[in-house]
Chains A and B, each alone.
Chain A
């Protein structure tokens, strides 16, 4: 049980860090806290560039998928 919680906790911490990076990209350009900014209408270009942004999204997916498979015992 302790082992399971530790592994899942570490994977989810990585997922949370990646999510925070993605969220940070939107701050000031698309949203400010909870509000959608007017300049969002003009489009959005992440500072890190679209390839890296999408790579982070993909990495996030892998963390979530691993955590799900780990939870269901499919790993």
Chain B
């Protein structure tokens, strides 16, 4: 059978088809990857905005110029707990996005072997009415 140039252009060789499939697959993977990373970043920015808002002075600019004393800001432990929790969550988002980019998503941040028990903290938690907390996830110091 004789294959003319005209026909070979119309019917691509199997290798070309495979290469195109591979390109499409890589493009789809990149699209998916970018979508996941963008989603994580959106959540991270939302959390950042909440932390930023909680750092803002509650007085208006007129009150600031008039020298109105600053109302108590982060004074209750509940406020602090929420703020620290948000900051911790933000760290988790950043860490997840970074591991996603590095391709090490399956590697946990801290292995069990890297966690040290801190009995003082545990006692404080349990005395403060949190008996369900049974271990502290503080990573071992270098």
Binding site for B on A (CB under 8 A): 1, 4-6, 8-9, 12-13, 15-16, 19-20, 22-23, 26, 30-36, 38, 40-41, 43-44, 54, 57, 60-61, 64-65, 67-68, 71-73
Are A12 and B77 touching (Cβ within 8 A)?
Answer: no
Considering only residues 28-66 of chain B, those with a C-beta below 8 Å from chain A are 29-30, 33-35, 37-38, 41-42, 44-45, 48, 51-52, 55
Contact among A12, A15, A41, A64 for B75, CB-based, below 8 A: A41
Give CA–CA (A63, B137) in the complex, Å.
27
Contacts of A57 in B (CB 8 A): 48, 51-52, 55
Return chain A residues, CB-CB under 8 Å to B97. Answer: 8, 12, 67
| Contacting residue for A33 out of B42, B72, B90, B121, CB 8 A | B121
Known: A36-B80, A65-B41, A68-B44. 14 other contacts (CB 8 A): A5-B33, A5-B102, A12-B97, A13-B98, A16-B95, A19-B91, A33-B136, A36-B81, A40-B77, A41-B75, A43-B72, A64-B44, A68-B42, A72-B34
Interface centre among B29, B73, B98 (most CB of A within 10 A): B98
- Closest Cβ–Cβ distance, residue A39 to chain B (whole Å): 10
Q: Which secondary structure dominates chain B's binding surface? A: helix
Q: Which residues of B contact A31 (CB under 8 A)?
A: 80, 84
Identify 25 residue pairs between A and B in the complex whose beta-carbon atoms are under 8 Å apart, listed by A's number.
Answer: A1-B26, A4-B34, A5-B101, A8-B101, A9-B102, A12-B98, A16-B98, A30-B80, A30-B84, A33-B121, A34-B136, A34-B137, A35-B124, A35-B125, A38-B77, A40-B74, A40-B77, A44-B74, A61-B52, A67-B37, A68-B38, A68-B41, A68-B45, A71-B37, A73-B34
